[in-house]
Structure 1
Amino acid sequence: METVAVFVNGTEEAAASLEFGAHEAALRKATLRLIAAWDVPSSILSGGVAGQEVYDEFREAAEALIADAVAKVAELEPSVVCETRVVKGQPGPVFLEESRDATLIVAARKRQAGIKELVIGSISRHILNHAERPVVVIPILPRS
């Protein structure tokens, strides 16, 4: 069965990817794999260590993003079956690893204006540079 992979992180770009991915999965009659990465930022670690409750809080936040994404997919495309992955690690490498067997990877480009418009987001760039599967990059146009 085909799988469409989408990264979920609560941003406007991720929402655009989710919407496109849900519609594409419906067209292909594919499973939609929703992937969230989480980690504890080094800036809040004390001596490189954090209590378990800190790790739990970040993991639970990622799980909540995934739950919201599943609900949004059900609203957009009720026939689409979702599978979810919540993985500790850096977004780019986690997304690539968890989408390595996907039929299609969906990413979005950050909303930027002027010269910055030529720049693609770090996660999307990482995916484009390393993906071994087809990638669709959704442009998010600057607001007027």
Structure 2
Amino acid sequence: MNNIFESQTIQYEIPIEDLEKIKNLILNMPINDNDFSIENIKYTLRLCPSISKYGERNGQPAEYRKQIDKWVIYLWDDLREKIQKVLLFHEALEIYFVEKFGLAPGAQAHSAVLLHESNFVNQLLNEEEKIELSKLRENLK
């Protein structure tokens, strides 16, 4: 039994220099449609509206898709910039874990990112923005 629990709680350690590169890139990147790379992983950022032309929610505030030679991150364009940066950091780091550690996209890679995202949020957002991010996530459930 103990081995099953241990296998579910594996921590994946990202080299601190890679983590800092990702943080600095996201913090200094303008939030607009653009291409960028992190550790030889190619990304394309695409902004999109939160509401579709049919008046329905347009997917998630941030999500990614694998293309042939790059990862495309879709990000809602009508969120506060700091909130966008948190979401972009999360998606970019999740993709990093998929590429560098072979984690499955989705829940496995998502879980590996949470501690790093929490630290990023505490570094970047004030209390009001943290509440806004929390409400955004709560409304998606």
Whether TM exceeds 0.5 here: the answer is no
Q: Normalising by the residue count of structure 1, what TM-score does the alignment of the two structures yield?
A: 0.26
More strand by share: 1
Q: Give the structure, 1 or 2, with the largest relative contact order (CA under 8 Å, sep 6 or more).
A: 1
Q: Normalising by the residue count of structure 2, what TM-score does the alignment of the two structures yield?
A: 0.26
